[in-house]
Structure 1
Amino acid sequence: MTFLDYLISVDARTALMGRMMRALGVDRQLKVVPDHAAVTDRAANRCRACGHQDECSTWLDDHHQADEPPAYCRNSDLIARLQHVSGDR
């Protein structure tokens, strides 16, 4: 893998995280949590380290809006907390 391939891969995984947060309706909540920059960075790092990017992309293509993330999502706990704060749960 070249360095450029790595950067494209990192960017694609970060984009998946954004799509996941929007599909689950918590993208706005993520922007207003205390220390949101650090929380977002940790969430992005979990996404970058995930080995399910192809599955995730397909899941997101099929779920433009959803109540729960797929079982393999490494940000499930964060998403649940954000949904709770927004009153969706």
Structure 2
Amino acid sequence: MTFLDYLISIDARTALMGRMMRRLGVDRQLKVVADHAAVTNRAVDRCRSCGHQDECSTWLDEHQQADDPPDYCRNRDLIARLQHAAGQR
């Protein structure tokens, strides 16, 4: 893998995280949590280290609306906390 391939892979995974947060309606809540930058960075790191990029992309394409992320999502707990804070749960 070239360095450029690595950067593209990181960007694609970060984009998947953004799509997941928007799909589950917690993107705005993520922006207002205490220590927003650190929370977001940890979420991005979890997404970047996930081995389910293709499955995630397919899941997002197939689920126009969803209450929960797929079971393999490494940000599942964060999403649940954000949903609770937003009054979605």
Name the TM-score, length of structure 2 as normaliser: 0.99
Structure 2: gaps of 5 or more residues: none
Structure 2 CA distance, aligned partners of 1:82 and 1:74?
A: 14
Aligned residues, how many? 89
CA-CA distance at 1:63 after TM superposition: 1.0
2:2 maps to amino acid: T
Structure 2 CA distance, aligned partners of 1:63 and 1:85?
A: 23
CA-CA distance at 1:64 after TM superposition: 2.1
CA-CA distance at 1:66 after TM superposition: 0.8
Q: 1:6-85 counterparts in 2 under 5 A?
A: 6-85=6-85
Structure 1: gaps of 5 or more residues: none
Structure 1 CA distance, aligned partners of 2:15 and 2:65?
A: 16
Overall identity of the aligned pairs, in %:
83
Computed over aligned residues only, the root mean square deviation of the Cα atoms, in angstroms, reads: 0.4
Moved over 6 A (4+): none
1:34 maps to amino acid: A
2:13 maps to amino acid: R
